[in-house]
Amino acid sequence: MSGPVLFDAVLLDRDGTLVEDVPYNSDPDKVRPVPGARVALDRLRAAGLKLAVVTNQSGLARGLFTERQLHRVHRRIEALLGPFDCWQVCPHDDGDGCACRKPRPGLVHAAARALGTVPTRCALIGDIGRDVTAALAAGATGILVPTPVTRAEEVAAAPWVAADLPSAVAEILRRQASLSPAKPLPGAGSRAVATVCGGRHRGAGRRPHRTGGAVGFGG
């Protein structure tokens, strides 16, 4: 991407943002993308933005599923939604006192490092206040896409609220394009090759590495 940009990367919460929230899901067959997710993500890819997933998965700490099962779910998500440049997973529970579990900013920092950028050049899309708080604490832009589980006070506190994932993506691209108004927005049918982050292959089909307590899957 040439010229000035607001964002190098878009970070996305997993459950409730990319796919329907199935608590502690270990079954790839239960993965259901939210409406419009694939087209929206392909627009970001076509615009040259890197993509990462940042997700709390306390089911690992609670023994409700294994890392192998988590990998299978992530492979299914990528089969449906296309590749992500990296995955950052917090495997801890609230009582563990880690630095990576949202609303703490560890996952955001880890994703930015893995993608070769800084949090201030990242936007994070999520469905609850924890996501927005983590983004703001790291210096990233936080975008709330409310669902039925989002509390009213979280919506009121969010600096940027979008009706759904495609709307959030459209606004990111509009703001990005406003710096270079002569360049048209990429069409939904455009395709781009995903970048490799940190010299690692795409994460959903690879073994995890741990970054600052989070389980990272290089893209």
Structure tokens at 31: 């993965």
Which pair of tokens denotes residue 171? Answer: 């606004």
Q: Which CATH architecture has domain 9-218?
A: 3-Layer(aba) Sandwich (3.40)
Q: What is the DSSP letter of 154?
A: H
* End-to-end Cα separation, the chain, in angstroms: 19
Q: What is the largest CA-CA distance in the chain?
A: 52
Pick the catalytic residue from 8, 15, 42, 85. 15
Residue 117 burial (CB count, 10 A):
16
**Pairwise CA distance, residues 21 & 23, whole Å:** 6
| Residue 5, pLDDT score | 77
> Tens-digit pLDDT profile for the chain (219 aa)?
455 679 999 999 999 999 999 999 999 999 999 999 999 999 999 999 999 999 999 999 999 999 999 999 999 999 999 999 999 999 999 899 999 999 999 999 999 999 999 999 999 999 999 999 999 999 999 999 999 999 999 999 999 999 999 999 999 999 999 886 554 555 544 333 333 333 333 445 444 444 445 656 554
Model pTM score: 0.83
Out of 8, 13, 127, 131, the active site residue is 13
The tokens for 215 are 């389980």
8 catalytic residue (yes or no): no
13 is an active site residue: yes
